[in-house]
Amino acid sequence: FNALLKTLEEPPAHVIFILATTEVHKLPATILSRCQRFDFHRINAQDMAARIKYVATNEGAEITDEAALLVAVIADGAVRDALSLLDRCLALDTNVDADVVRRAAGLAQKDYLLDLASSCVNKNSERAISILNKLYNDSKDMARLCDELINHFRSLMLIKTVRNPRELVILSDDEYDIAYSQAQMLSLADIVYAMDVLQIAYERMGKGSDNRIELEIALVKLSAPELETSMESLLSRISALEKAVKCGIPAVSAPLVPVQTTPVTPQAPVQEKPVPSPAKVEEVEQTPAKTETEVTKTKVDTEYAPAPEIVTELPAPTPVQEVKPSANTPSQTQTIPKKKGPVDMDAIMRQATPLMVWPEVVANLKQYSRVIASAFEGTTAYVSGDYLLIESSTDIPFKLLQNPSQRDNLRKAVLEITGKRYTLGPYKKPEEKKEEVTDPLDSLVGDLKSNGINVVEE
């Protein structure tokens, strides 16, 4: 470098040095300081396709827009590789379309590629292996096919994560529609897992392994994720279960409860209440008024009750011969939510026990709503039967829970951690009943006065 440095410092008048490297960080600072630096970047696919069409026209050939774009995508931003591929295409046919480009580059037909990806998405390993066998018999390059699959799942990842993916995903309109439908069938964890599996297979292909076997193993792993025990596979399967739960699909499919066709005696219709008799009036007068805890229970049921569309698991149907109210026969609709009478909330509060995993619930709530998660920081939760009672020093959490979407977010977070759906409500410490402490002297004075004896208190 010393001789080069001397030459750069005092170059001949007719000489211009052009240094090209892909490892500019290895050049000494003394060289870099004496040079003008020009950084070359990859050319985007659209500009590359326009240049390919210009060159083909000057060569007296015709090339379609789809073919020019495919050449640009394969070249990956390098004009030299694009022109080299164009020469091979022109050697096959002067009218270049997408099929000619795929034959020149050794690529699989796009229909086969999309069909292969769909087989993985639909977990159909038999179909995937059959397509791969046909492509292998057609002398398709397995390493190139694996690379195409990686790029295809990359397109699915962009569709899943980017707001406007059409600008980044280089596909025709029909191909983009198919890719979009595939992306909606997969979670982001599934897509990333597929890219990891294919990338590992692609790396093994470069180490002397049988390319066909490596790709077959990868396709079987993608079609049968239960065979893989890696962390990514487990996360993908957990994500699928969570999606099934959110969509209301049971983990183990069971036959739906058939509708009872046996005629059932309907309940008497509600009629206008007649004027109560004196005996009934006495019963009404003896009924105690609602306590503060009962009012709180009413507020809990109305404000924080579960969504009506959520129904607990129904019991197995039993043949109904005659429907009569009986004390020994439970009602068949007892698990269906319905209005209940007043509940002793004070007793529920006394039986409540702290929910130890509440901090995990609050942490899990952040993925749904950071606003409501921050509002529940520092709160405490108690469980009493089917009730989840929240204790807070402020009213902010309960004001947020008045929003149905925020209530649903909290229910989801609780369900994912505890595996159970609760009725939400506020927690108030039960008031301890204080026994009245009576002074024995006062009771003695009272007895004396009741017997007509004058008592002088000093």
Buried b (16+ CB within 10 A) or exposed e, 63-72: bbebbbbbbb
At residue 4, the pLDDT reads 74
Mean pLDDT over 147-175 rounds to 84
Residue 342 structure tokens:
């007043």
**Given this model, what pLDDT does residue 229 score?**
60
183 and 147 in a common domain: yes
Report for 36-45, 52-61, 415-424: range of highest mean pLDDT: 52-61
> What number of other Cβ atoms are within 10 A of residue 202's Cβ?
21
Contacts of 88 (CB under 8 A, 6+ apart): 104, 105
Per-residue pLDDT of 92-137, as tens digits, reads 888 888 888 888 887 766 777 888 888 888 888 888 899 888 888 8
What average pLDDT does range 250-278 have in this prediction?
A: 44
234, 196 contact by CB (below 8 A) = no
Cα-to-chain-centroid distance, residue 372: 19
Torsion of CA 418, 420, 426, 431, to 10 degrees: -90
- In this prediction, residue 233 carries a pLDDT of 57
Residue 285, pLDDT above cutoff 70: no
Each residue's pLDDT tens digit, 383-401: 888 888 888 877 777 877 8
Q: Tell me how far apart the alpha carbons of residues 104 and 85 are, in angstroms, rounded to a whole number.
A: 7
- 116 and 63 share a domain? no
Residue 239 — very low, low, confident or very high, per pLDDT cuts 50/70/90? low
Q: How far is CA 118 from CA 154, 184, 208, in A?
A: 15, 12, 29
Instruction: Please check whether residue 145 lies inside any domain of the structure.
Output: yes
CATH code for the domain of 403: 3.30.300
- Cα–Cα distance between 311 and 334 in angstroms, integer? 12
Domain-embedded: residue 452 = no
Are 202 and 92 contained in the same domain?
no
- Please tell me the predicted confidence (pLDDT) of residue 235: 65
Residues sharing a CB contact under 8 Å with residue 416, sequence separation 6 or more, in sequence order: 242, 364
Confidence of residue 277 (pLDDT cuts 50, 70, 90): very low
Say which residues have a Cβ less than 8 Å from residue 231's Cβ, sequence separation at least 6. Answer: none
User: Are the C-beta atoms of 73 and 46 separated by less than 8 Å?
Assistant: no
Query: Over the chain, what is the mean pLDDT?
Result: 73
- Whether 328 is in a domain gets the answer no
Q: What is the pLDDT of residue 421?
A: 84
Comparing 223 with 371, which gets the higher pLDDT?
223
Tokens matching residue 356: 């130890």
For residues 145 and 232, state if they share a domain: yes
pLDDT score recorded for residue 237:
64
Do 140 and 242 reside in the same domain of the chain? yes
70 and 140 belong to one structural domain: no
Q: Do residues 311 and 259 make contact, with C-beta atoms less than 8 angstroms apart?
A: no
Q: Print the domain residue range for 25.
A: 2-32
Q: What is the CATH number of the domain that holds 135?
A: 1.20.272.10
Output the domain CATH number for residue 52. 1.10.8.60
**Is pLDDT of 416 > 60?**
yes
Q: Under 8 Å CB-to-CB from 299, ≥6 apart: which residues?
A: 425
- The position carrying tokens 């025990």 is 229
Q: Is 0.75 surpassed by the pTM of this model?
A: no
Shared domain check, 71 and 122: no
Q: Could you tell me the pLDDT band of residue 192, with boundaries at 50, 70 and 90?
A: confident
Residues 96 and 196 in one domain: no
110: left (phi over 0), alpha (psi -120 to 50) or beta: alpha
Which two tokens mark 304? Answer: 């924080």
- What tens digit of pLDDT does each residue of 320-350 get? 444 444 444 444 444 444 445 555 667 777 7
In this prediction, residue 113 carries a pLDDT of 81
| Model confidence at 255: pLDDT above 60 | no
Q: How many domains does the chain have?
A: 4
Q: Are residues 382 and 409 in the same domain?
A: yes
121 and 224 fall within a common domain: yes
Is pLDDT above 60 for 35? yes
Q: Is residue 65 part of a domain?
A: yes
| CB atoms near residue 340 (< 10 Å) | 8
Residue 331 confidence (pLDDT): 43
Same domain, 71 and 169: no
| DSSP letters spanning 155-198 | HHHHHHH-SSGGGT----HHHHHHHHHHHHHS-HHHHHHHHHHH
- β-bridge pairing 62-63 and 423-426: unpaired
Using alpha carbons only, how large is the chain's radius of gyration in Å? Answer: 38
Does 128 fall in a domain?
Answer: yes
Write the DSSP string, 208-261: T--HHHHHHHHHHHHH-GGG--SHHHHHHHHHHHHHHHHTT--SS--PPPPPP-
Would the pLDDT of 223 be above 80? Answer: yes
Residue 436 belongs to some domain of the structure: no
| CA–CA dist 222, 125 (Å, integer) | 8
Q: What is the mean pLDDT of residues 358-372?
A: 80
**Residue 69 in this model has a pLDDT that exceeds 60:** yes
pLDDT of residue 312: 36
- Whether residues 140 and 226 share a domain: the answer is yes
CA distance 321 to 135: 64
Q: Is residue 40 in a domain?
A: no
- Residue 261 inside a domain? The answer is no
Tokens representing 327?
């004390």
Q: How far apart are CA 303 and CA 196, in angstroms?
A: 46
Which three-class secondary structure state does DSSP give residue 347? Answer: helix
